[in-house]
Amino acid sequence: MSVVNIVLGAVLGVVSLIIVAFILLQEGRRAGISGAISGAADTFLSKNKARNWDAKLGRLTKYVVVLFFVIVIAANVVAIYFS
């Protein structure tokens, strides 16, 4: 196993943990229903702030997932051609 494989594997592990963290930080799609049922009153500004944060997390998640796939493909190429 080469040093490049070890480095790519470590980076892949870190990126996968970042993906898990971003997904867990996102609010569920049905979170608004439970707030309405329990009587939680959100102001207009707090709703937009939450949506804006979720939108940013969604975009970051997409970028990190693309990075994850690029690293996986690079690790496979390195494993095939440099073994």
Report the pLDDT value the prediction gives residue 32, as an integer from 0 to 100. 55
- pLDDT per residue as tens digits for the range 19-46: 999 999 988 766 555 555 655 555 555 5
In percent, how much of the chain has pLDDT > 70?
71
Report the pLDDT value the prediction gives residue 48, as an integer from 0 to 100. 64
Give how far the C-alpha of residue 45 lies from the chain's centroid of Cα atoms, to the nearest Å. 25
Domain boundaries, the chain: 3-24+44-81
Compute the distance between CA of residue 57 and CA of residue 80 in angstroms, rounded to an integer: 34
Least confident range of 47-51, 58-62, 73-77:
47-51
Compute the distance between CA of residue 37 and CA of residue 10 in angstroms, rounded to an integer: 44
